[in-house]
Chain A
């Protein structure tokens, strides 16, 4: 059973910022989440909705789907005689069907089923984006018989039921609708066009063959002439697949990050200017700033668009030993955030650095260790050192630090900024942007990346199950085959396509079985 409804719900939500654990959804869970949508909505209804985003915009698109679409088009676009040619834009006055009052002048498009997104007759009204116009058109549509506003995700659900979309395609579409940033839009487009679907289908197909061959070996081999080497071929296919899926999983959450945002955490000692940095980056006073050490106690979060990539920025409490229970909790939360972070900005008050560069480097190293106690060398690109308050330094000292700290080995990149004067902010932003970009990967190059935590969980199950095959292959083939079955089910949960009869079909295609 597939977490289908979860997907439709997902579509309803704004781009999700928090990384949620995915799970296998059974029918019962499915049904309990489904109760939000009223039962008994017959497909006979014609639905409509504003398909472009809410809020002020140049052009708004209102979409209609269902058998009454043509009637709506005739009544509202003054097309009494005949419908426009399919899929061709036509400029019309759009009128209220009852009062005949002109509501707007815009484009209308007619998509007769089944050649439409939902597979049903559909109409699009491209109108001006003012709230008054949109409301008037939606009200006019709602006043006609057999028409009702669409439920969240209902267009997609109809498209899915009409077989127009595969499961990963639906997910890609949901993301597209909510792509808040340009890069997200590109990845969503890519997924929707089926790259990921093709990748997973390809694996699924190969796994089906593996399973079919193992099953053939179990159900037929002994006196029914299955040729030699069948299992050996399965062994090598399983190893190859395993390696490929593991490589795909090792994209280090790039796709997921692009979808739900890179987690960037600001951390460091108290009063280093962490909250000021957050406010500077999001260009609004999101966090309270004061000269009192320990002002920030809880985690303050904000979403940002950095160079087209979504970033979830968190400001945390300054790290120090405190007897204050609330502050202790704040520090604990700060440490927890740092552990989950994709990128940590370690903020240091540059005024507190010793004058000599070597000593300053030592102090920075200490700061780094305090924030990230178990930082290993290769993880250095997971953090940046931000030296704040450079406006308080003598210019010569600032230049010296900037010049000489770059050469110190063992330190992550160092940026000198002043949140007060915004000096050095541009350079810092470009460093930050290139980091974020690396973390997300370029959605248009390379192999398609993982975009959903749900996919990741199923792929991990798949890997574990294939390992079970390898482990048990020589001791108990029935149990080993169970591993391949499980692997296939896990993949099937992503792509939504799996049939038991298919296995037998492959067996009979590949082997001459005669008994």
Chain B
């Protein structure tokens, strides 16, 4: 087995520049603005694709910082981490390096919805990400504040009314040019921080606000529609002030499961536990008493429904006891992160509130919780390559698109980075289908439906959940990523080895047939139904809950023992295969519809098709790129889709309407 060293490589050239004068060039293929989860994945992916890439961030020191909770993965989010890893992204390996508490959520509910999750050591996570970036050739990191985008006339060969050609930096005379610019500004776009009744500009406490010029250019010059969202973070608590005897101990999985397909084990030797505790009626009382002192909560900017502040939880569901998780911030950290206690009341009230929780009755706050409100760009203005439809060369990823969560940001960052590089290297844009990945589901939801609240991934968003499992992300995505150029040969070879072995093993299982009588004799613990007279194959036998691949291999060692490395994956494949086969037709239908492109310059209002005014307005607003995307729009009736299809077919036959203009990958 290929075991890659977990130690981040820090050899080659270190291209980190703190000063503009050290830059070797004034012109790059791709510039990435922002050093969070989206920015780092974008920069790394673009460089892997072969683009000369510059990452610009306010503070090199905070690259890879976990601004909010010290954890990665979970249900749905874990799927994204596995997919980012399958495309050779950073966050999966970073999680394996920095994780100090690993568990697979939903273990009892079926492998399609298992949620790999880890608590992280903040320090180690940052170290790993920074180390990785340093080791990537063609990637330069620059500390600086972006003042504005350079906007020029559009290129006539592509659709769009503007073109972004680079950035200008604060206090620097000469701009830096690039074919593609990826903005990953997180909560910094017109961000304001709220604590109690005070408000200050910024996206994260301790960091300078981003430039007003950038925000102005997006809104005024490029004419992008923006909305406002809010989020928040809890106070950090001094660990030694917590009375752990009054909280429930929740140990992690005994054997950590790595996020990365390239790792067989994780770094940490001894895992650190989490603790669970609950709110009391006293907490509710403090929230009520502090409401008039709480600006953030009084504004009706949309916050996440699933990651609500303690204030909104108490207000929406009064009279209940709510969970509070006490999570470690790191191996050596003196702090605890109280998951579920995100709050924006004045600091003195925050202290009163947490002390209403038994385990925190004498707790001390290290830094208070706060709320952030920020602008996001309505993501229906993006293509499935995450490029702004009206602005050539401008890509957006992460919270700027209205999402929440590290994993969602990383997934978009990676895909925006790939496409930014494609554009710079003059290859067609690429998209991922929702039939093949959660990343595809995420991007399709964003660009087709838009957001009304911070978007978080759930497994229920994926129509083909049984096929898009965390265990098979490598088979789904690594070959495609290698073809595109964002996956290293070593990862590709490993994925191919796995694929071949699984295929061989499944062929061996299919070839293994047992009569029911022999089943009962050889495998007495498997309750093969009496009525079955036909022989059962190994694949069918593995569908029985009580039979593991290991047991089967111990009965037929000569045929199966060479595949023991893949026991779990084979068991999962066997159980899900019949269901995935049923879905195949539907998947093919959707993929066909996704290959019918709608011209981006259609005038939907004068289109001579039988469409209602409402349908025309929706289509005009969203401008779906494919017929498949149009079918998923709310308010688009099947009849409208048929009319649209007829029109496209008709137009195609006449060979007009710029069908060829929308260049696409295979």
Chain A interfacial positions (CB closer than 8 Å to B): 1-2, 4-5, 26-28, 30-31, 34-35, 39-43, 157, 160-162, 215, 217-220, 222-225, 475-482, 496, 499-501, 503-504, 508, 512-515
Contact = CB atoms under 8 A, between A and B. Distances in A.
30 contacts: A27-B631, A27-B642, A27-B645, A31-B645, A40-B608, A40-B609, A161-B637, A215-B460, A218-B106, A218-B109, A218-B113, A219-B76, A219-B459, A219-B460, A223-B105, A223-B323, A475-B545, A477-B109, A477-B110, A478-B109, A478-B111, A478-B459, A478-B465, A479-B110, A482-B465, A504-B461, A513-B308, A514-B308, A514-B313, A514-B322
A513 B306 contact: yes
A233 B638 CA distance: 34
A218 B459 contact: yes
Max chain B Cβ within 10 angstroms of own Cβ: one of A5, A217, A225: A225
A482 B113 CA distance: 12
B339 interface: yes
B575 interface: yes
A368 to B, nearest CB: 35
A162 B627 CA distance: 22
Contacts of A39: 609, 643, 646-647, 649-650
B466 interface: yes
B612 A43 contact: yes
Interface string B484-506: 00000000000000000000000
B458 interface: yes
Nearest to A29: B589
A39 B466 CA distance: 39
Interface string B577-597: 001000000000100110000
A157 B459 contact: no
Interface in B105-138: 105-106, 108-113, 115
B640 interface: yes
Given A4-B638, A40-B650, A478-B110, A215 B322 contact: no
Contacts of A479: 110, 112, 466, 575-576, 579
A514 B106 contact: no
B109 A27 contact: no
B466 A482 contact: yes
A506 B557 CA distance: 50
B109 A31 contact: no
Given A42-B608, A222-B106, A225-B322, 12 more contacts: A2-B638, A5-B642, A27-B589, A27-B593, A35-B646, A40-B609, A157-B610, A157-B639, A215-B459, A220-B306, A478-B110, A480-B110
B644 to A, nearest CB: 10
Contacts of A478: 109-113, 459, 465-466
Given A157-B639, A478-B110, A479-B112, A222 B105 contact: yes
B641 interface: yes
A1 B650 contact: no
B60 interface: no
Contacts of B649: 31, 39
Contacts of A157: 610, 639
A425 B592 CA distance: 61
Nearest to B592: A28
A225 B466 contact: no
B520 interface: no
A401 B541 CA distance: 65
A508 B454 CA distance: 14
A28 B308 CA distance: 43
B611 interface: yes
A477 B113 contact: yes
Contact of B611 (A43, A218, A500): A43
Nearest to A38: B646
Contact of A512 (B113, B322, B339, B645): B322
B449 A501 contact: yes
The 8 closest A-B pairs by CB, nearest first: A478-B110, A476-B110, A478-B112, A512-B317, A215-B460, A477-B109, A39-B646, A219-B458
A162 B75 CA distance: 41
A231 to B, nearest CB: 10
A512 B276 CA distance: 17
B458 A215 contact: yes
Contacts of B612: 43, 161-162
B650 A508 contact: no
Interface of A is mostly: helix
A476 to B, nearest CB: 4
Given A476-B575, A478-B110, A499-B634, A224 B639 contact: no
Contacts of B576: 479
B307 interface: yes
Contacts of B13: none
B646 A1 contact: no
Contacts of B637: 4, 160-161
B610 A42 contact: yes
A515 B461 contact: no
Contacts of B325: 223
Max chain B Cβ within 10 angstroms of own Cβ: one of A28, A160, A224: A224
Max chain A Cβ within 10 angstroms of own Cβ: one of B109, B317, B449: B109
Interface string B62-105: 00000000000001100000000000000000000000000001
Max chain A Cβ within 10 angstroms of own Cβ: one of B110, B111, B323, B627: B110
Contacts of B615: 161
B320 interface: yes
A512 B313 contact: yes
A477 B110 CA distance: 6
A30 B575 CA distance: 34
Contacts of A4: 637-639, 642
B306 A515 contact: yes
A121 to B, nearest CB: 14
B221 to A, nearest CB: 33
B305 interface: yes
B35 interface: no
Nearest to B320: A512
B599 interface: no
B435 to A, nearest CB: 14
Given A220-B306, A475-B545, A514 B75 contact: no
B340 interface: yes
A513 to B, nearest CB: 5
B316 interface: yes
Interface string B406-434: 00000000000000000000000000000
Contacts of B460: 215, 218-219, 500, 503-504
Contacts of B113: 218-219, 477-478
A460 to B, nearest CB: 16
A1 B644 CA distance: 14
Nearest to A222: B105
Contacts of A161: 610, 612, 615, 637, 639-640
A448 B633 CA distance: 33
Contacts of A224: 306, 323
Interface string B586-628: 0001001100000000000000111110010000000000010
B67 to A, nearest CB: 16
A31 B646 contact: yes
A41 B647 CA distance: 11
A475 B645 CA distance: 42
Nearest to A507: B460
A223 B316 CA distance: 19
Interface in B333-349: 339-340
Nearest to A503: B460
Contacts of B339: 515
B110 A160 contact: no
Contacts of B340: 514-515
Contacts of A482: 465-466, 579
B635 to A, nearest CB: 10
Contacts of B593: 27
Nearest to A119: B612
A157 B545 CA distance: 50
Contacts of A515: 306-307, 339-340
Given A4-B638, A479-B466, A514-B307, A41 B323 contact: no
